[in-house]
Amino acid sequence: MDEKDLSHFAERAARWGADYRAGLGERPVRPPLEPGAVARQVAPVPPETGEAMETILADFERVIVPGMTHWQHPRFFAYFPANAAPASVVAEILVAAMGAQCMLWQTSPAATELEVVVTDWLRQALGLPDGFSGVLQDSASTATLAAVLTMRERALGFTGNRTGLADRPALRVYASREVHSSVDKAVWIAGIGEDNLVKLPSGGPSRAVDAAALEAAIVADRDAGRLPAGIVSCVGGTSVGGTDDVAAVADVAARHGLYLHVDAAWAGSAMICPEFRTFWTGVERADSVVVNPHKWLGAQFECSAHFLRDPESLVRTLAIRPEYLKTRGRDGVVNFSEWSVPLGRRFRALKLWFLIRAHGLEGLRSIIRDHVRWAAALADGIATDPAFELVTPPMLSLFSFRYRAPANVDPDRFTLDLVEAVNRDGRVYLTQTAVDGRAAIRFQAGAFGTTEADVLSVHAVVGEVAARLAAEIAAGGR
């Protein structure tokens, strides 16, 4: 394939994409494959000579598409969504065609300046106050790592990058047990060590961290000669939506001079709706906040908005300026590679610009409000069905539940087997979680293409598959 073929095959790919999206509801959400089924259909050695694009595209449809889990499916209720709204898809096609590397202002001035503007659009939409600056990271994991590195450097007087962590007091980071595993990984990579991530009890309907226990742990660590560095607060935790009292945590952070990072990767998108902002009251006092537009706002993955009250602390932690990366004769420009762990950066701002302009904030609010309302209706139906048990109430559009296991059957085993059976059935896609040590089924509505009927179908589909599974057990087939 050469440049003259680009128009033909790009148009074909665009048409295929539109047809694919239109027919998604007819496909199983997750393919009923065994591991290795796709790999066995791919040649084990690379070709020595080029193949025709027609052949490659035919193999794509024959081998790859049937082996994909369809994240844009209207009945994708697992994990959190990774939406790709049509306006975002169009923007990504344009970005791919340009192939820009946006590490510095001078390498892509428009990309840098648009990122400054659209992150401020998003700041305003979320109700964050003036003074917060934004950068688009690849994912919340990177934003959290950047925050942990910054809290480490701030606690060490910005000397850790230069002299290392040897012969230092043990640095401590604090969080509830509801935080995402990316926090654990961040403390590994930052050299702090998992033993120094202090996970504290959470409780109450919101499964919030115990602020008194948090403060006691900080005081105890200082008394023991350890060095508290920062706190990661959770708004809408991945498992069942655990949400801290951010204002109470901010009080503790302020009293002890600790860096506060708020992880609202999923739930933060809902804050474009003013009525949901009570979930993160006090967020304006955080040092940094992460919200993922690539989850619930429809931006193509990857697109994670990282907001900072004091960007200089982040830049001081991450910026490295060899001669070949300096921008000459341009004072005051932003080089976003100095705000990120990677040097290379994609043009992420374009899809966010297209998306917000195409839908408007009110259009995006309407989608989120529908998902929250439909999830509540599903939860109500499950709660009133004696065959089911509502385990945790909805946090926005996320809740967990169980189907009551037959007598003399281990309920956790039954729940896990039921999740797998539902997913092999293919009509809906759910995941499991653990709540207070017991297995539960986790549901979250967030796909842009989902409808009320799609959401409410979960009750019937799970009930039907559970009855079939229970019958198999009773017949001795399990």
Question: Are 470 and 406 spatial neighbours (Cβ–Cβ below 8 Å)?
Answer: yes
- Contact, 13 vs 53, CB < 8 A? no
| Nearest-angstrom CA–CA distance, 296 and 364 | 9
- So what's the architecture of 3-83 in CATH? Up-down Bundle (1.20)
Q: What is the pLDDT of residue 338?
A: 86
Candidate ranges 34-48, 252-266, 464-478; pick with highest mean pLDDT = 252-266
Q: What is the mean pLDDT of residues 189-198?
A: 95
Q: Is the predicted pLDDT of residue 397 greater than 50, yes or no?
A: yes
Q: How is domain 100-346 classified at the architecture level of CATH?
A: 3-Layer(aba) Sandwich (3.40)
pLDDT tens digits, 342-380: 888 888 999 999 999 999 999 999 999 999 999 999 999
- Partners of 389 in beta bridges: 402
Q: Measuring CA to CA, how many Å separate 381 from each of 104, 365, 400, 445, 458?
A: 52, 25, 13, 15, 10
Strand pairing class (227-234; 208-209): unpaired
Q: How far is CA 114 from CA 104, 105, 362, in A?
A: 13, 11, 22
Beta bridge partners of 390: 401
Place of tokens 């096609």: 93
The pTM of the whole model exceeds 0.85: yes
Query: What pLDDT, on the 0 to 100 scale, is given for residue 325?
Result: 54
Domain ranges in the chain?
A: 3-83, 100-346
Q: What is the secondary structure of 245-283 as a DSSP string?
A: -HHHHHHHHHHHT-EEEEE-TTGGGGGGSGGGGGGGTTG
CA 451/CA 75 separation, integer angstroms: 9
The answer, yes or no, to whether residue 329 has pLDDT greater than 50, is: no
Please state, for a pLDDT cut of 90, what percent of the chain lies above it.
Answer: 79
For residue 323, pLDDT over 70 is answered with no
Distance CA 379, CA 400 (A): 9
Query: pLDDT tens, 122-138?
Result: 999 999 999 999 999 99
